[in-house]
Structure 1
Amino acid sequence: MGADREGGARRMPGRAVVAYAASGVVLLAGCASMPDDGDLRGVESTPRQDIQVRVFAMPPRENAQPSEIVQGFLEALTSDDPTYATARQYLTGEARQTWKPDVSTMVLLDGPGTEADPSGGRADGDDFSFTLTGTMVAAVDAQQAYTPASGRYSQPVHLTKNRKTGQWRIDGLPQGVVMGKSDFERNYMSVNKYYFASNSADAGTGQPTGVADPVYVRERVDPMTEMVRSLLQGPTSWLRPVVRSSFPTGTALDKGVTSLTPDDQNKLTVPLNDKAARVGHTQCTEMAAQLLYTLHNLTPAVDEVELRAGGARLCSLDEESAVAVAARGSASHPDYLYFIDGKHRLVRIPGGSGDTPKAEPVPGPLGEEVKQLRAAAVSRDEHTAAGVSVDGKALYVGSLVSGSSLGEPVLRSTGKTETDRLTTPSWDARGDLWVADRNPVAPRLLLLEQGAGVPLEVRAPALTGRIRDVRVAADGVRIALVVEEKDGKESLLIGRIERDEKDGERPVVSVLELRSATPELEEVTTMAWAGDSRLVVVGREQGGVQQMRYVEVDGSVPEGPTPAAVTGVKEIAASEDERLPLAAYSEDGIVRLPSGAQWQKVVKDGSAPVYPG
């Protein structure tokens, strides 16, 4: 389509460009009168800060031909019109009633092309047909959930000429919205809405654990109100089985509330309907925490939320108090970065230090030369660690307390080679330990409750390859797996952790609905969680070179810069607390990347860096 063209030039027929300043609306010079020749006119910049360009579509031109009608309609889909009112002007009256733009957004690589259908009528007659074509990149569904897509897109569009007015209009079209990738990136943004783990993943803390549910909303069409509505409507289908919301079923914005804006103290008042009128104080503060976490990264900032229902104030909560109400992975701040040194001991350095301090062995047996290690994982409270022996055969668990002893291995692998044995383990928020045994005779994903006892074999019915790497999210309900497929391709898969727990019985634990977070990568070298819904991945596309990038759990690529390149990365470490530097094991040894700086060498002789988790 016209808005997605080679070379980055964007020609927008039938569009008006408007800039919004902090103090209100400003029509830029050259746009006060709308263009009638379809060209984007030059505009003068304004010296004010925080200017946000808005794009609005123009209605169909008198006596426009079918191709112009279709093109104008497609352009209107990419505008910042909240209700697509202008796009509807390109439709017949009946089509306006039946077209539902909010059911989906189809994203195409270069935008939809239009091919005239010779069998669909003639422009000098009363009807005409086109086919919209393109290469699919992704789809956003009615719940605003993003899913990568591939293959060819082909959908018919039919036009008819009104016999009374002589004007062409679209009377047959696909449901939803279609646009090119660059227009999608300009129009939409990814935002996390938050629910709580329903399986008590935070056992022992007394706090619910926040779980990020990423969705895409239109960036310049009141995203704050849209995110509140989306949160109240409930979690996306993929996440729903393992989370809960503290909002009572049926809770919505009060009748007549069309827009929400914080006051000059960054306090947002949210009027709710009567479904929320009788909630208690504890439940209300959990509801407010969900809202605060959801609105955390939006502009303008929200520092406090007040909930109201039935004309009465229910509760209020600020950001500082929200931390005491609900836990969130990105709000935790690990004390140390850990790695294996040249003597095969577990050592550590302060996690957020600006300088490069000297590494010191951890307290306890894993920091001594009692057992030589090749990999380790540290519990999220940093009280316990698990280490894999240098040959990969044995898994040990020990306390990070001086003077404690190391018992027998909690798990052994009988794989014939080092690469056929135990992976690096991972701790979840409950204090349970996850690890995969890569023995090709009996490959298994295993869970040791509290890092001890007889391992539980985790069910993963959709898993077709062999697990090479395991990382559990801080929320305890999602797991990232690097899987080697039978064709040699490596995939980063995200699964949902479900637990069937019955009194007096051991739980049945399953990893379900695995989905790819990096469908374009052929090789995944290493990965780590780097936020509530974000991972950092090192891998390679087919025929490409090694690269490092951030990815979202839904398979989309977040906005913002990618990490600086570093040579020969073999392992990566990141924290859900995005303020802490990335760390890697590369050709230069252990290196780390502080914010706003270049990669710095920590130690030449070291491997397997990890943050707690």
Structure 2
Amino acid sequence: MTASQSAGITRVLRSRGPMAVLCAVLMAGLLLVSGCAHLPQSGPVGTSDPLPGAESQMNYSFTPAGPAQDASPEEIIRGFLNAGTGIQDDYATAREFLTEDAATSWNPEARTLVYHEAPTVVPSAEDSQYEVQMEVDSVVDERGIMNRMPANTSEAVGFELTQVDGQWRIAQAPGGSMLETAQFRALFASHELYFYDQSYTYAVPDLRWFLNRSGTAADIVGALMDGPSPYLDGAVKTAFQSGSELSRPSVPVSGGLAKVDLTSQAVESADPLTRQRMQQQLELTLDGLNSVSGVEMSVDLNPLDLGEVPESFDPATINPGVGSTQVAVADGELVYFEGDATVPVGGLQTELEGTPVDPAMSLDGTMFAFLNEDRTRMITAGTDGSQQPEVEGEELTRPSFDSSGWIWTVDHANGTRIMALEATDQGEASREISAEWLGDRTVSALRISRDGTRAAIVAGEGDSAHLYLAGVIRDSEGVPRGLGSPVRLEPTVPVNDVNWLSDQELLVAATSSDSSVEAQTIGLDGSLVTHRPLLGMTGFSTGPGDNPVYAETAEAVHTLAGSTWRSQAGALAQDLAFPG
């Protein structure tokens, strides 16, 4: 692409606003990539206005070429892979590379395999069979659930070809499509499906990926009714009963109103409270589409009467705030830390020799938990002078409060045991939480999300630590019982600690008192932002909303301003933590 072409695209899009300018930059990058054999070579890449139901981003239209006359088997396979970008007319161009039977049976949306570099096509020992080898970045299944792959993950998929009227065609192809990372980012967008915590107090995001096309709203609603991602099974609730589905495969949007037409089975046993929660769940989930400003539910095209709003219905909270006050340690005692000033925490009655370390504070600011210096005891206390049972063990991790009042830590005295203690319970000892998948991994950090539904865990063996996200499974009384099967997130910096930056972002780093430390923000959508290194970062703290990111060194408390760490001139404190 020439400089004049790039400038022309930018001039056209600048008149449409800053978001369009950003898309112009991405467009220019995509066209440059196309010259490096990662995008289709024989067809143009175009843009179009956002489709109804698409997010507020430019939609890209690829027009790959069909099979060339007398193309070799390798060329047919590569052409088929490139044609996976042409989603028009149900992937009509890609089907041209297949035999008639294969074209009928091939399901392009079974999964989407996203790769880094140009695939290698390797002939197999048997005639007419080939293997395509590629380095995989991620895999998106038919429900839009993305699984990020560890670095250097490779996969091989098989193809079988035959001749039809003297031309090579694919007789057997793997289900799904295969896209290079730039192609995937142009064709897909992430969307939040929203479910509820066990008490219906919080709305919990479940990140999915869908094609940017006119049917996106229906794709999203269909996925919502199918239920949460596997790692959230048992951790979240939905207002839609099992078997709920759309009565037709579309969700038309007119004048900003998304019309969701359900089957009678979806609402036949739903009382007024459940219907309000269904409505709210749809509104929260479809709110991310720039064409949707409201939702109307109907049954077999007849508007659904929601009735009066029950007194027991409360709007769900998204990304709950925690205020701006932190707990910290200064001069050997617990203090409130806000801005750059400290105030001693009064009213605590504890018996502790030495300095408390790694304190945590409940969401309402009245309960505290902290460790002794050798991390063999977790002590809990309230500002009203109350004292709670303790947890004893070895190499205890920093406590974490959840929204139900449970305090979490990990004990390594006899293997790895996740422990939870109810902050309001005067009589019971701590409870062990089932997490068989952890095995013998050593856990260096565990933080519960502020909606109480997810645990972020840094765990590993030896010097190899990884970041996991697991759903918190509770019984009907809200008592935590276990952690579900996790997903592994893939930061690109070393990690030994983690904090929730928001309900969709985590901050991680490998803290060290004598090394330069890179912290990184990792989104549940896989996005990564690496922050400027800070020498001797021994800890960090984060809170949702307008709160800055804090980091500690032996000399000062720092805040992140843009990409720069700025030291504060106020009181020196250690082990800062926002509520949670």
> Structure 1 length normalisation: TM-score?
0.77
Overall identity of the aligned pairs, in %: 22
Distance 1:149 1:8, change over 3 A: same
Of 527, 538, 559, the residue aligned with 2:498 is: 527
Q: Does 1:12 align with 2:40?
A: yes
Partner of 1:444: 417
Distance 1:223 1:229 in 2: 10
Distance 1:546 1:358, change over 3 A: closer
Q: C-alpha displacement at 1:286, in angstroms?
A: 0.8
Partner of 1:585: 552
Q: Does 1:462 align with 2:437?
A: yes
Q: Does 1:60 align with 2:32?
A: no
Q: C-alpha displacement at 1:426, in angstroms?
A: 0.6
Distance 1:51 1:294, change over 3 A: closer
Letter in 1 for 2:472: I
Q: C-alpha displacement at 1:528, in angstroms?
A: 0.9
Distance 1:141 1:583 in 2: 37
Q: How does 1:397-546 map to 2 (within 5 A)?
A: 397-400=380-383, 404-405=384-385, 407=387, 410-413=389-392, 415=394, 420=395, 422-439=396-413, 441=414, 443-452=416-425, 453-463=428-438, 464-485=440-461, 487-500=462-475, 509-518=481-490, 523-539=494-510, 546=517
Partner of 1:43: none
Q: C-alpha displacement at 1:564, in angstroms?
A: 4.6
Partner of 1:600: 566
Moved over 6 A (4+): 2-9, 366-371
Partner of 1:340: 328
Partner of 1:569: 537
Q: C-alpha displacement at 1:430, in angstroms?
A: 0.9
Letter in 1 for 2:44: A
Letter in 2 for 1:340: A
Distance 2:458 2:87 in 1: 39
Letter in 2 for 1:103: A
Which secondary structure does the structure 1 equivalent of 2:101 belong to? Answer: helix
> Per-residue displacement from partner, 1:237-284 (whole Å, max 9, x unpaired)?
3322333321233322232x5343352xx4433222222354333212
Q: C-alpha displacement at 1:480, in angstroms?
A: 1.7
> Per-residue displacement from partner, 1:168-205 (whole Å, max 9, x unpaired)?
321111122222233333333332212223xx3x4xxx
Q: Does 1:261 align with 2:230?
A: no
Distance 1:443 1:10, change over 3 A: closer
Partner of 1:187: 187
Letter in 2 for 1:426: S
Which secondary structure does the structure 1 equivalent of 2:90 belong to? Answer: coil
Letter in 2 for 1:95: A
Partner of 2:368: 385
Distance 1:494 1:593 in 2: 25
Partner of 1:37: none
Distance 1:149 1:562, change over 3 A: closer
Distance 2:476 2:57 in 1: 52
Letter in 2 for 1:146: M
> Per-residue displacement from partner, 1:444-492 (whole Å, max 9, x unpaired)?
321112354311122222222222211112232321222241x332222
CA contact (8 A) 2:532 2:564 kept: yes
Distance 1:612 1:111, change over 3 A: farther
Letter in 2 for 1:250: G
Letter in 1 for 2:45: V
Q: C-alpha displacement at 1:220, in angstroms?
A: 4.8
Of 306, 325, 332, the residue aligned with 2:296 is: 306
Of 364, 368, 374, the residue aligned with 2:357 is: 374
Letter in 2 for 1:17: V
Partner of 2:26: none
> Structure 2 length normalisation: TM-score?
0.81
Q: C-alpha displacement at 1:520, in angstroms?
A: 6.0
Letter in 1 for 2:483: V
Q: C-alpha displacement at 1:580, in angstroms?
A: 3.0
Distance 2:402 2:66 in 1: 54
Which secondary structure does the structure 2 equivalent of 1:75 belong to? Answer: helix
Distance 1:262 1:363 in 2: 57
> Per-residue displacement from partner, 1:307-352 (whole Å, max 9, x unpaired)?
22233333689xxx99932233x1x2222241424313333345xx
> Per-residue displacement from partner, 1:348-403 (whole Å, max 9, x unpaired)?
345xxxxx453333453389999842121111233322222344343332334xxx
Aligned residues: 535
Letter in 2 for 1:435: T
Gaps of 5+ in 2: 1-29
CA contact (8 A) 1:338 1:346 kept: no
Q: Does 1:270 align with 2:260?
A: yes
Of 238, 241, 244, the residue aligned with 2:231 is: 238
Letter in 2 for 1:513: S
Q: C-alpha displacement at 1:92, in angstroms?
A: 1.0
Distance 1:564 1:519 in 2: 15
Letter in 2 for 1:405: G
Distance 1:133 1:219, change over 3 A: same
Q: Does 1:282 align with 2:273?
A: yes
Which secondary structure does the structure 1 equivalent of 2:322 belong to? Answer: coil
Distance 2:203 2:97 in 1: 44
Partner of 2:90: 83
Distance 1:525 1:451, change over 3 A: farther
Distance 1:583 1:101, change over 3 A: same
Partner of 2:170: 170
Partner of 1:40: none
Distance 2:84 2:286 in 1: 26
Q: C-alpha displacement at 1:527, in angstroms?
A: 0.8
CA contact (8 A) 2:123 2:129 kept: yes
Of 104, 108, 112, the residue aligned with 1:97 is: 104
Partner of 1:365: 348
Distance 2:119 2:90 in 1: 21
